């Protein structure tokens, strides 16, 4: 079993043997059994920043998903090796934008005569190839905690933004935080000729949103919000900006995983919260704050874990740590040099945002 005391002991022993040679990063959506071994936990932004915080560590073990491990490789030195304990820990959203599709989209924008006015802004949840495309075309990366600042910056560089690959984060930030209208946004569908848009529609748009979404957050609905408000009078609804626009519009608070944690830390005793984000995090928060008399429930009981985040479990972590402790490098994530150079440009623009 994953909470097997023998496995816990083995993980502890392998980590102790590695000492300063290993630095373990854990995203907030990771299982409890894994998060207990993280040297640092955080949202995507914090983990990108902290990846480079331990230059003496030869190995960075990334407990999260593939695009996060790629970003860590891009942002760390050549002599640091990034390890993802299970290579199958991908992200369905990141997979919704491939390099070929995005290159084709750029051709469509060029034909419509607007490519010169467009600045790409790519969500962290994208492959290194997409980040490199973004860097090459003068754009930046953003996460759910700095999307508004990234868009402010982008609109200083050009008149339009191509937002990849999460349409919801793009729309929510533009409309909820920046006062744009829904009519300012169009959705580019990579499975349709010309993205399913006319050249006129592209020319009129301010935000060109890629048709991608998170398979977990996309399942919260307006019904989930209405139902929880009925069931728990006085409940505060707090959701992640990867949720659909109508969910975000009906919520009381919206923010990244780190924001969700900070909001609950500051919440008064006796308050009630329904949280629309990944289940591992919501359960951990419900347990943590139960003793402070804060009632925390999952926004919709029919939504489940992020299956790829959950791929990293204690057996995989033990295997990775023990292999490294024995001097065997396993599951290294390494971005090729050319991709890395352009992707780094885009990531550094993000890290330099005010």
Give residues in contact with ligand SF4 (CB under 6 A).
Answer: 29, 65, 91-93, 125, 214-216, 278, 306, 308-309
Contacts of 301 (CB under 8 A, 6+ apart): none
Residue burial 58-75, b: 16+ Cβ < 10 Å; e: rest: ebbbbbbbbbbbbbbbbb
CB-wise, 216 or 345, nearer to ligand SF4? Answer: 216
Q: For residue 23, which of 59, 70, 69 has the smallest C-alpha distance?
A: 59
Question: By three-state DSSP, how is residue 255 classified?
Answer: coil
CB-wise, 214 or 228, nearer to ligand 13P? Answer: 214
Question: By three-state DSSP, how is residue 122 classified?
Answer: strand
Distance (Å) of CA 270 to CA 195, 251, 264, 296 = 49, 19, 12, 10
CB-wise, 28 or 349, nearer to ligand 13P? Answer: 28
The DSSP element (H or E) to which 60 belongs, if any, is strand 59-63
**Residue from 257, 280, 331, 339 binding ligand 13P (CB under 6 A):** 257
Measure CA of the first residue to CA of the last residue in the chain; give whole Å: 46
Q: For residue 240, which of 230, 179, 224 has the smallest C-alpha distance?
A: 224
**Residue from 224, 236, 256, 310 binding ligand 13P (CB under 6 A):** 256
Question: By three-state DSSP, how is residue 265 classified?
Answer: helix
70 binds ligand 13P (CB under 6 A): no
Count of residues engaged in binding ligand 13P, rule: CB under 6 A: 12
Q: Where are the alpha helices (DSSP H) in the chain?
A: 5-18, 32-35, 44-51, 66-75, 99-111, 128-136, 147-157, 167-172, 199-204, 222-231, 245-250, 257-266, 279-290, 314-325, 337-351
- Smallest distance, Å, CB 305 to ligand 13P? 12
- Smallest distance, Å, CB 94 to ligand 13P? 9
CB-wise, 3 or 307, nearer to ligand SF4? Answer: 307
68 Cα distance to chain centroid: 8
Site for ligand 13P in 329-348 (CB under 6 A): none
71 binds ligand 13P (CB under 6 A): no
Beta bridge partners of 208: 162, 186
Q: Which residues are annotated as a binding site for [4Fe-4S] cluster?
A: 91, 214, 306
CB-wise, 14 or 72, nearer to ligand SF4? Answer: 72
28 binds, among ligand 13P, ligand SF4, none (CB under 5 to 8 A by kind): ligand 13P
CB-wise, 172 or 194, nearer to ligand SF4? Answer: 172
50 binds ligand 13P (CB under 6 A): no
Judge whether 138 and 157 are in contact, CB under 8 Å: yes
308 binds ligand 13P (CB under 6 A): no
Q: How far apart are CA 134 and CA 164, in angstroms?
A: 9
- Smallest distance, Å, CB 215 to ligand SF4? 5
340 binds, among ligand 13P, ligand SF4, none (CB under 5 to 8 A by kind): none
92 binds, among ligand 13P, ligand SF4, none (CB under 5 to 8 A by kind): ligand SF4
Site for ligand 13P in 18-47 (CB under 6 A): 28, 43-45
CB-wise, 57 or 74, nearer to ligand SF4? Answer: 74
Judge whether 138 and 122 are in contact, CB under 8 Å: no
x/- mask, ligand 13P, residues 116-145, rule CB under 6 A, reads: ---------x-----------------xx-
Positions in the binding site for ligand 13P (CB under 6 A)? 28, 43-45, 125, 143-144, 214, 240, 242, 256-257
């Amino acid at each position: 079993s994953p909470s097997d005391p023998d496995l816990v002991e083995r993980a502890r022993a392998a980590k102790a043997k590695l000492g300063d040679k290993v630095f373990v990063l854990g995203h907030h959506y990771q299982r409890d059994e894994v998060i207990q071994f993280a040297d640092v936990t955080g949202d995507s932004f914090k983990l990108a920043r902290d990846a480079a915080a331990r230059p003496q560590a030869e190995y960075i073990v990334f407990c999260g998903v593939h695009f996060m491990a790629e970003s860590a490789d891009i942002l760390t030195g050549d002599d640091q090796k990034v390890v993802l304990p299970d290579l199958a820990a991908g992200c369905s959203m990141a997979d919704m934008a491939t390099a070929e599709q995005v290159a084709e989209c750029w051709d469509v924008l060029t034909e419509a005569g607007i490519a010169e006015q467009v600045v790409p802004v790519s969500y962290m949840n994208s492959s290194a190839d997409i980040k490199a495309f973004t860097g090459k075309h003068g754009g930046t990366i953003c996460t759910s905690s700095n999307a508004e600042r990234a868009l402010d910056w982008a609109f200083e560089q050009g008149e339009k933004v191509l937002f990849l690959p999460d349409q919801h984060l793009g729309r929510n930030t533009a409309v909820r935080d920046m006062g744009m209208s829904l009519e300012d946004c169009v959705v580019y569908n990579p499975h349709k000729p010309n993205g399913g848009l006319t050249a006129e529609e592209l020319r009129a748009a301010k935000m060109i949103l890629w048709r991608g979404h998170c398979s977990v957050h996309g399942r919260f609905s307006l019904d989930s919000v209405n139902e929880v408000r009925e069931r728990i009078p006085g409940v505060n609804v707090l959701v992640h900006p990867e949720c659909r626009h109508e969910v975000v519009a009906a919520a009381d608070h919206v923010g990244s995983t780190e924001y969700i944690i900070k909001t609950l830390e500051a919440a008064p005793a006796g308050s009630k919260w329904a949280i629309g984000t990944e289940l591992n995090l919501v359960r951990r928060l419900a347990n943590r704050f139960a003793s402070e008399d804060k009632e925390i429930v999952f926004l919709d009981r029919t939504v489940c874990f992020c299956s790829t985040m959950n791929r990293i479990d204690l057996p995989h972590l033990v295997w990775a740590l023990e292999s490294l402790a024995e001097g065997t490098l396993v599951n290294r994530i390494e971005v090729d040099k050319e991709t890395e150079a352009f992707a780094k440009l885009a990531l550094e623009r993000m890290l330099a945002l005010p």
